[in-house]
Amino acid sequence: MALIVQKYGGTSVANPERIRNVARRVARYKSMGHQVVVVVSAMSGETNRLIGLARELMEDPDPRELDTIVSTGEQVTIGMTALALIELGIKAKSYTGAQVKILTDDSHTKARILNIDQHNLKADLDAGYVCVVAGFQGVDAQGNITTLGRGGSDTTGVALAAALGADECQIYTDVDGVYTTDPRVVPEARRLKSITFEEMLELASQGSKVLQIRSVEFAGKYKVKLRVLSSFEDEGDGTLITFEEDGKDEDNMENPIISGIAFNRDEAKITVLGVPDKPGIAYQILGPIADANIDVDMIIQNTGADGTTDFTFTVHKNEMGKALAVLRDKVQGHINAREISGDDKIAKVSVVGIGMRSHVGIASQMFRTLAEEGINIQMISTSEIKIAVVIDEKYMELAVRVLHKAFELESA
């Protein structure tokens, strides 16, 4: 008998019939003698609908009240999933984040999990119940409802698996695993049998939508066995996310250098021109951005011969306006910047693979491939197993296709 945490995304619980399908799948695991915790998202489109309702009343909704509103989407789904299981003769009980006691910090709409009280869940599991838990939500120390940000249900699932010591965390979604890139952009994209946590973390951070980055961080930190599966297929092993590099595509005598191509349309570029080239200038620019709870991704700085520097960084596209307002209100006058501008017509494309550690020439091959298609690179960021570039968004799909072909990922 194993303890399994299963997470189902919004498309998997989009309507009553799909919820019944989830219940039947859970019932099969239960009939094998397993203990099962089910984490569910809101029905597909429901969170956007609730945010839209809030914005009809207030253009920039108060974060505390917005969390109260959007958390109801998962509350509906846990009750319906529990009902579907009970109808099949399975003992089931639904839990909100507060009922589990998922304690978070007080950063509304972007809360981070601090602790999970396993007592109630373990007692019900031992009593034979399937525990159906609302993803995406928790409570802070004052009892206020908080949410974990977009994709937070993945984080809830992995965090519960870690807290309960689950044998496996299964992430069910509308795809049957992790692919070399999005098959909607490159039809020849190939499903990976396995991928390392390091690679999955890079792919998630660079724009892959299969898993939310914080869930991968949790899984890696607490050594949670993680598997991505399709909720619309009864068979298949999905993609195993593992620490074992030699577990990847074991049919190959030598694993490919590059595992995947990630892309992200949701970033914007902010440029601060003509600031003094002196110690502390980066902090003077980015400090107020951090204080405004705005996440920064890529950063570059170019120093000129005239003693000034140009500073460029990227943020989420939805936060470009807020970031520009912060810079113009709190920064520009203090640092005498010549100009502050924003550009939301960009995209980030990344190649990821642990093989980069032992192979040279990956960057030059990537840059040559893009150059041959007339695609200009605006920014570059690297890590030990990743190279990311910012380009004009109109070239994004072309860049993904040619890079996928250049690194022979369709046949690796």
For 344-355, b where at least 16 C-beta lie within 10 A, e where not — what string?
Answer: bebbbbbbbbbb
pLDDT of residue 6: 97
CA 257 to chain centre: 24
Q: ∠ CA(238), CA(243), CA(248), 5° rounding?
A: 50
> Given the DSSP bridges, would you call strands 226-230 and 168-173 parallel, antiparallel or unpaired?
parallel
Q: ∠ CA(383), CA(288), CA(284), 5° rounding?
A: 75
What is the rounded CA–CA span in Å between residue 6 and residue 25?
Answer: 10
Mean pLDDT over the full length of the chain: 91
pLDDT of residue 252: 45
Closest CA to 203 of 250, 160, 260, 155: 260
Residue with token string 């619309």: 232
pLDDT of residue 208: 75
Exposed/middle/buried for 396, CB within 10 Å: 0-12, 13-18, 19+?
Answer: buried
CA 404 to chain centre: 22
Backbone CA torsion sign across 366, 264, 395, 325: negative
Between 221 and 299, the higher pLDDT residue:
299
Query: In which band, very low, low, confident or very high, does the pLDDT at 256 lie, cut at 50, 70 and 90?
Result: low
Other CB atoms within a 10 A radius of the CB of residue 236 amount to: 11
| pTM as predicted | 0.77
> Residue 223 to residues 11, 136, 159, 179: CA-CA distances in angstroms?
27, 21, 11, 22
> Given the DSSP bridges, would you call strands 267-276 and 339-343 parallel, antiparallel or unpaired?
antiparallel
pLDDT of residue 255: 57
CB 104 within 8 A of CB 112: yes
CB 117 within 8 A of CB 95: no
Query: In which band, very low, low, confident or very high, does the pLDDT at 181 lie, cut at 50, 70 and 90?
Result: very high
Spatial neighbors of 127 by CB under 8 A, at least 6 apart, are 91
pLDDT of residue 404: 96
> What is the edge-to-edge ordering of all strands in the sheet holding 308-316?
296-303, 308-316, 267-276, 339-343
The tokens describing 11, both together, are 């498309």
For 36-84, the pLDDT digits (tens) are 999 999 999 999 999 999 999 999 999 999 999 999 999 999 999 999 9
Other CB atoms within a 10 A radius of the CB of residue 271 amount to: 17
CB 216 within 8 A of CB 242: no
pLDDT of residue 339: 92
Domain coordinates in residue numbering, the chain: 3-247
Closest CA to 156 of 44, 7, 48: 7
For 105-156, the pLDDT digits (tens) are 999 999 999 999 999 999 999 999 999 999 999 999 999 999 998 778 999 9
Lowest mean pLDDT among 325-329, 331-335, 375-379, 382-386: 331-335
Lowest mean pLDDT among 150-154, 170-174, 267-271: 150-154
> Given the DSSP bridges, would you call strands 145-147 and 137-139 parallel, antiparallel or unpaired?
antiparallel
Longest dimension (CA), the chain: 76
Query: In which band, very low, low, confident or very high, does the pLDDT at 412 lie, cut at 50, 70 and 90?
Result: low
What is the rounded CA–CA span in Å between residue 380 and residue 101?
Answer: 42
> What DSSP character marks residue 338?
S
> What DSSP character marks residue 193?
S
Half-sphere exposure of 194 (CA within 13 A, CB side): 16
pLDDT value at 249 more than 60: no
The pLDDT > 70 percentage for the chain reads 96
Superfamily of domain 3-247: Acetylglutamate kinase-like (3.40.1160.10)
